[in-house]
């Protein structure tokens, strides 16, 4: 919990009729990261975004619950616009 990490993750969302690939940019800032290191995260993220430019949603996470795959998939689904799965609910 005393580190900062950046991740670029690929998820496949949708239903049997329509599969979509979504990318997420995840910034992990551990709860024990110092104030100076937290401040440097913004500068470092700018450099990361020069390489990783195409993503559906950006996450800044410090809680392990928000790092769970299901949470991230649900957030990407919300950001994706039309929800064709609603027909099956």
Q: pLDDT-based confidence at 14, cuts 50/70/90? A: confident
pLDDT value at residue 43: 95
Joined together, the tokens standing for residue 36 give: 């100076």
Mean pLDDT over 47-75 rounds to 94
Q: Is residue 54 part of a domain?
A: yes
d(CA 46, CA 40): 10
d(CA 45, CA 38): 11
Mean pLDDT over 63-82 rounds to 86
The CATH number assigned to the domain holding 67 equals 3.40.20.10
Q: Is residue 68 part of a domain?
A: yes
Mean pLDDT over 29-47 rounds to 96
Q: Is residue 69 part of a domain?
A: yes
User: Among 13, 26, 16, which residue's Cα sits nearest to residue 82?
Assistant: 13
Q: Which domain holds residue 73?
A: 4-81
Q: Is residue 88 part of a domain?
A: no
Q: Is residue 86 part of a domain?
A: no
Percent above pLDDT 70 for the chain = 89
Q: Is residue 21 part of a domain?
A: yes
pLDDT value at residue 77: 84
Task: Count up the domains in the chain and report the number.
Answer: 1
């Amino acid at each position: 919990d005393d580190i900062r990490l950046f991740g670029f993750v690929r998820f496949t969302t949708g239903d049997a009729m329509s599969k979509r690939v979504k990318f997420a940019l995840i910034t992990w800032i551990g709860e024990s990261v110092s104030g100076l290191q937290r401040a440097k995260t913004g500068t470092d993220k700018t450099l990361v975004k020069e390489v990783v430019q195409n993503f559906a949603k950006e996450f800044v996470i410090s809680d392990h619950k928000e790092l769970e795959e299901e949470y991230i998939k649900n957030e990407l689904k919300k950001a994706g616009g039309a929800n064709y799965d609603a027909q099956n609910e």
